[in-house]
Amino acid sequence: MKKQILFLLVAVLAGSACATAKKPLVNRVLTAQEQAALTPDQVIAILDEGNERFVAGTVTSRDHSAQVRLAAEGQFPKAVVLSCLDSRVPVEDVFDRGIGDIFVARVAGNFENTDILGSMEFGTKVAGAKVILVMGHKDCGAVKATIDGAELGNITAMLENIKPAVEAVPGFDGARISSNAEFLHAVERANVSETVQRIRERSPILRDMESAGQIKIVGALYDMGTGRVELLD
């Protein structure tokens, strides 16, 4: 009998230790009220904090099944992220975001076009997101191919969209080739800032929203080696 009580006690203690060590799963999604209360600067801070957790390996545990069911009733995401196609840039994970948290548009070389601009206008003007984040990344194959003048099928026309970035680094003192890491990095940065500028020029809706303080359009670079997202001015 004593043995049984002791066993029970050990089992209860082990169970409670286990329960305190395990963090609860996040099972909720952003509501319309929460989205409306956020400012663009708060959203940028939330993305930055999420990226810190990604870098530190302490991303939030999420109950995706529960989030799927809740998100089916509607979506109120915080931001629109335009990312490269690159499989090594898992956008939601990079910002520690879950289902219903962010819109993600992807195209090799993370440039805008009419369809992407329309998607951004939907994401902000219609659906209420507060930030547009153009996120390039280091070691970008699309940027390398553009510098190298690669030609193949529809890729040729696609790379035309990245060419202005190569031309936007005019005074570079060094070899203008993709194997020159310094030049490649300069073009990757220019590609992000050129895209941010063109979004403002080509979308009066987004430009006006930004002027009114309703949204912010910002650029960033993702570092493959560290997982860190560096916000650009």
Residues forming the site for Zn ion (CB under 5 A): 84, 86, 140, 142
Please report how close the Cβ of residue 88 comes to Zn ion at its closest, in angstroms.
Answer: 9
Q: Which one, 142 or 196, has the nearer CB to Zn ion?
A: 142
Q: Which one, 84 or 209, has the nearer CB to Zn ion?
A: 84
Cβ distance 85 to 138 under 8 Å? no
Please report how close the Cβ of residue 137 comes to Zn ion at its closest, in angstroms.
Answer: 6
Cβ distance 140 to 111 under 8 Å? no
Please report how close the Cβ of residue 188 comes to Zn ion at its closest, in angstroms.
Answer: 8
Please report how close the Cβ of residue 233 comes to Zn ion at its closest, in angstroms.
Answer: 21
Q: Which one, 132 or 162, has the nearer CB to Zn ion?
A: 162
Please report how close the Cβ of residue 60 comes to Zn ion at its closest, in angstroms.
Answer: 26
Q: Which one, 31 or 180, has the nearer CB to Zn ion?
A: 180
Q: Which one, 162 or 209, has the nearer CB to Zn ion?
A: 162
Q: Which one, 38 or 135, has the nearer CB to Zn ion?
A: 135
Q: Residues near 125 by Cβ (< 8 Å), separated by ≥ 6? A: 205, 206, 209
Please report how close the Cβ of residue 208 comes to Zn ion at its closest, in angstroms.
Answer: 30
